[in-house]
Amino acid sequence: MGLQLNTIIPWGRNLDEYVAMFGLDAQALKLNILDCAAGLASFNAEMTVRGHRVTSWDPIYQFSTDEIAQRIQDTYPTVISGVRANLESYVWQTLKSPDHLGEVRMAAMQRFLEDFPAGLSQGRYLRAALPQLPGSAQHFDLALCSHFLFTYSDQLSQPFHRDSVLELCRVAREVRVFPLLTLSGEPSPFLEPILAELSDAGYNYRIQPVAYEFQRGSNRMLQIYRS
Ligand SMILES: C[S@@+](CC[C@H](N)C(=O)[O-])C[C@H]1O[C@@H](n2cnc3c(N)ncnc32)[C@H](O)[C@@H]1O
């Protein structure tokens, strides 16, 4: 069954957040990057104006700019009131308050919406869904996946996670996934079994601390690369 727009809570992070979540240094920013489950992040838009190369894949790109913009307006109050009801689940430092969080997220999503039509026609945004991606093997230097795998461990199965991680490893030479906790802040039960499968399949991996913690306790990313 296809993705239903009315089941999606649109959300998007910005370039600074991507840099922090994935520990991207100047060298990494120059790579040919795939952002998978990219959603309404402004990472692609902000990287493109800086002359970098990012391709964003997500099933949400089947919808029009207007449809996505409407869905943002419809869901924003619910999202922010959910955050207000769980203040202690978050670290309020870089993002100072729910209002500040809302401003930063809305600015990122607005940036995405402005870039989306041009990016679609340039092939920088493409409708694609894990666990089966288009693209040839090793097409990208680096694949990023934020707030999808492990986050939704209560809705997506362990085989889905395994197949998705291996598929990201197929299309990119290196893969980084953040965060490693579920939406409710628990360690994903799928992390350890998937690390074992990666080892069996001949991949190396590291669990790296990163300079990003908004969901309390969530400050580590998984980095996977070939032996
Ligand atoms: C919480 S958003 C994360 C967006 C962005 N990565 C960020 O951190 O700001 C999760 C995204 O996963 C996308 N998604 C849902 N099912 C997917 C699938 N099977 N494959 C890839 N992405 C999917 C949703 O459309 C949504 O945009």
Could you tell me the two tokens for 144? Answer: 């990023």
Q: How far is 111 from 217, CA to CA, in rounded Å?
A: 29
Per-residue b/e over 71-97, b at no fewer than 16 CB within 10 Å? bbeeebeebbeebeeeeebbeeeebee
pLDDT digits (tens, 9 = 90+) for 189-204: 999 999 999 999 999 9
CB 203 within 8 A of CB 227: yes
In the predicted model, what is the mean pLDDT of the chain? Answer: 96
pLDDT-based confidence at residue 7 (cuts at 50, 70, 90): confident
Percent above pLDDT 70 for the chain? 100
Pocket test for ligand 1, best of 6, 34, 58 (most atoms within 8 A of CB): 58
pLDDT digits (tens, 9 = 90+) for 109-152: 999 999 999 999 999 999 999 999 998 999 999 999 999 999 99
What is the pLDDT at residue 6? 84
In the reported structure, the alpha carbon of residue 41 is separated from the centroid of ligand 1 by a whole-number distance in angstroms of 10
- Name 57's bridge partners: 36, 126
What is the pLDDT at residue 149? 98
- Name 181's bridge partners: 187
pLDDT digits (tens, 9 = 90+) for 147-192: 999 999 999 999 999 999 999 999 999 999 999 999 999 999 999 9
Residues near ligand 1 (Cβ within 6 A): 8, 11-13, 36-39, 41, 58-60, 129-130, 146-148
- Name 36's bridge partners: 57, 145
Q: Beta strand 172-178 with 203-209: parallel, antiparallel or unpaired?
A: unpaired
The domain limits of the chain are: 5-226
Could you tell me the two tokens for 119? Answer: 């990016």
| Domain 5-226 architecture | 3-Layer(aba) Sandwich (3.40)
What is the pLDDT at residue 1? 53
Could you tell me the two tokens for 111? Answer: 């940036």
pLDDT-based confidence at residue 2 (cuts at 50, 70, 90): confident
